[in-house]
Amino acid sequence: MSNSASSSVEVPARPWRQVDAQRWVDARPPRWLRPGLPALLLVAAAIAAVAQTPDPVCSVQAPCGEQWFDAVGTMLILPYLVSLFMLPEVAVVTAPLLIVYSAQPQEWVGGAGENISVGGIIAALGWGWGVGAARLRARRRQRVLVREAAGGLTAFAPMPADASPRQHGLIRLVAAVLMGASAAGLITSVVADDRAIDRAVRASTVRDVPVVGYSADDSTLTVRLPDGRRHTFDVNGTYRDVSTVRVLLQGRSVRLAAEPYGDHFVRQALGLGLAGLGVIAGMSALLARRRAVALAGAAVPVMRVRARQNGGMTELFAFDDTAGLRPVLRFVGHGKVHGPLGTATAYGALSEGGTVVLDRPAGPDGVRLTEVALSPIAPERPAGPAGRRDRGGSRPPRRPARREAEHDRAMEALTQEAMSRMTPAAAPVRWKAGPVARWAGVALVLIAVAVSVGAVDAHARVPLAFFWVIVLMLLNGLHRLGTWEITADAEGLRLGVLWSSKELVPWNLVGTARYSAFGELIIERGDMATEIRLGVVGSPSMERRLRRPGRAAQAAAEITAMIRDPRLRPAAPL
């Protein structure tokens, strides 16, 4: 808040009438041209396309690499979604690029299901482009309506002395630098690892070895090495009807010649996703700074309005709305318009996503109060005198006990089905997250980062470290969704996540394996009466709707089958 002398001259300004304010609100695009629906369609179509994309065919002649082009195109979807809500200026530019990328002939190589999903992605991107264009057009229309309502009257905005326009977007700019540095580190680590692997490959011994097991569900390939040892690879390609593969041997290190680089998916996806979000945050910061500088450096439309503080937000009303029943817009400001509903002077060509300066007249103490918007302007759509709709008559929520009972019955049926089809395992059995869960985990982590950045920007007084602690806590939980892993061998169950040591629970100490109604995968130790929780690794409600059990549900059912019938457990190697 800035205090200016009482000698400040009252600028001439027309009142913003309710009829003009309503025209300003009605200039917004219709509901079908809002970001929510195309964003939902894009997320659903992208998940469906990833789930139905066939595995690549890897060979010695054409080994599967990091596929940077495909990864960049795929991970651009997340920053595009953020820009669709926060920065339509960027959305209208990136949507055509993503449409061209998705429409490539090599993207239409799957079956009918994948082709329909890719078509849904293209439709959602086209819809999103229309949304971005409509929002920009609506903003231009809103600025015109404000100039008309102001009657051509303009004035220079009295910017608060402690809120320089060049400080606008500073937090977003810092977040952009942090995300860019993190992205650079992750991408550099992947490239450095690939170069080190290239050097190791050139020094390796090449051998053709027999395949003794391949699981398309778990994406694993087991081979017998020349010294008689068995080795299991996590693979990305398909190896059906393959009897021998070529491996690269260097001491105790073993690599598959068709996939020498292994799996750097999480680091690659996080790096590219953070890079995209960093660009969006940086552009948003620069645009906010540009708008604030333009507001302070030129004469802008000026109107009489009413304003008040409500729950940390400043609400702005038409001048003749003396009771404050229909808010027109709201924002988070630097300084607060304290006290009840009162008159103020609004400076700026108001539009959604724009900025404004409010100047309150001098009070009994002779001091004027000035406030500048820190967050983008968010228009309100009144829904009655109180601004709320009656939502009575809604159905009561279903009882959790009934939902859990239904889930338990479904899991018991899945266990019985597993016991009827399983045969004694000749090699270790592995369960791990599938590609849909991995993409969902990465997307949730990056969305958490984006939401935290937005929250920091909207609440500038809250320390930045507080939000990053929340992000790290979310990261710790959400990464399990895409990296959980359980291996059953002759000794017992080995549980954990990728890049960490696995905890061994011997078979004689394994109590139960449960997949809860909330998506948690839990193994109970009988000796200690304790539970090992791998975290939330699935969505039972979504799996019921799709009528397709997830990998975590299959893992719990098959482990339970092994507990009940020891003959189904993997045998010790000969």
Query: Are 163 and 460 in contact, with CB atoms under 8 Å apart?
Result: no
Please indicate, yes or no, whether residues 421 and 513 belong to a single structural domain of this protein.
Answer: yes
3-state secondary structure of 570: coil
Q: Above 60 in pLDDT, residue 464? A: no
In a domain, 46, yes or no: yes
Please indicate, yes or no, whether residues 539 and 406 belong to a single structural domain of this protein.
Answer: yes
In a domain, 538, yes or no: yes
3-state secondary structure of 199: helix
Q: How far apart are CA 155 and CA 491, in angstroms?
A: 80
Residues 89-111 have a mean pLDDT of 79
Residues 457-462 have a mean pLDDT of 44
Query: Are 523 and 495 in contact, with CB atoms under 8 Å apart?
Result: yes
Residues 464-474 have a mean pLDDT of 59
Number of domains in the chain: 3
Please indicate, yes or no, whether residues 127 and 209 belong to a single structural domain of this protein.
Answer: no
> What are the distances in angstroms from CA 351 to CA 343, 377, 568?
20, 7, 66
3-state secondary structure of 1: coil
Burial of 355 (0-12, 13-18, 19+ CB in 10 A): buried
Question: What integer pLDDT is reported at residue 118 of this predicted model?
Answer: 84
- 334 HSE (CA, 13 A, CB side): 21
Q: Above 60 in pLDDT, residue 365? A: no
Question: What integer pLDDT is reported at residue 462 of this predicted model?
Answer: 44
Residues 394-422 have a mean pLDDT of 74
Q: Above 90 in pLDDT, residue 439? A: no
pLDDT band at 541 (very low <50, low <70, confident <90, very high): confident
Q: How far apart are CA 507 and CA 491, in angstroms?
A: 6
Question: What integer pLDDT is reported at residue 397 of this predicted model?
Answer: 42
In a domain, 196, yes or no: no
408-442 per-residue burial string, b: 16 or more CB within 10 A, e: under 16:
eebbeebbeebbeebeebebbbbbbbbbbbbbbbb
Please indicate, yes or no, whether residues 30 and 135 belong to a single structural domain of this protein.
Answer: yes
Element (H, E) at 68: helix 68-75
Query: Are 126 and 99 in contact, with CB atoms under 8 Å apart?
Result: yes
Q: Tell how strand 14-15 and strand 300-310 pair up.
A: parallel
Q: Which of 219, 243, 262 is the last residue of a domain?
A: 262
DSSP string, 441-486: HHHHHHHHHHHHHHHHHH-TTS-HHHHHHHHHHHHHHHHHHHHEEE
Please indicate, yes or no, whether residues 539 and 418 belong to a single structural domain of this protein.
Answer: yes
Please indicate, yes or no, whether residues 404 and 520 belong to a single structural domain of this protein.
Answer: yes
In a domain, 272, yes or no: no
Please indicate, yes or no, whether residues 486 and 550 belong to a single structural domain of this protein.
Answer: yes
Burial of 450 (0-12, 13-18, 19+ CB in 10 A): buried
> What are the distances in angstroms from CA 273 to CA 12, 121, 191, 348, 473?
49, 18, 16, 35, 19
Q: Which amino acid is at 491?
A: E
Q: Which of 104-113, 307-316, 395-404 has the highest mean pLDDT?
A: 307-316
Tens digits of per-residue pLDDT, 505-534?
Answer: 888 888 888 888 888 888 887 655 567 777
Please indicate, yes or no, whether residues 105 and 209 belong to a single structural domain of this protein.
Answer: no
Q: Which of 123, 151, 179 is the last residue of a domain?
A: 151
Please indicate, yes or no, whether residues 64 and 127 belong to a single structural domain of this protein.
Answer: yes
Q: Which of 215, 246, 262 is the last residue of a domain?
A: 262
In a domain, 71, yes or no: yes
Please indicate, yes or no, whether residues 70 and 214 belong to a single structural domain of this protein.
Answer: no
Q: How far apart are CA 218 and CA 368, in angstroms?
A: 68
Burial of 8 (0-12, 13-18, 19+ CB in 10 A): middle
Question: What integer pLDDT is reported at residue 318 of this predicted model?
Answer: 92
Please indicate, yes or no, whether residues 17 and 138 belong to a single structural domain of this protein.
Answer: yes
Range of the domain at 54: 13-151
Copy the structure tokens of residue 547: 């009528």
Give me the percent of the chain exceeding a pLDDT of 90: 10
Q: Is the pTM of this model over 0.75?
A: no
In a domain, 351, yes or no: no
Element (H, E) at 296: helix 265-297
Please indicate, yes or no, whether residues 502 and 563 belong to a single structural domain of this protein.
Answer: yes
Residue of 502, 483, 488 lying closest to 430 (CA atoms): 488
Question: What integer pLDDT is reported at residue 156 of this predicted model?
Answer: 87
In a domain, 370, yes or no: no
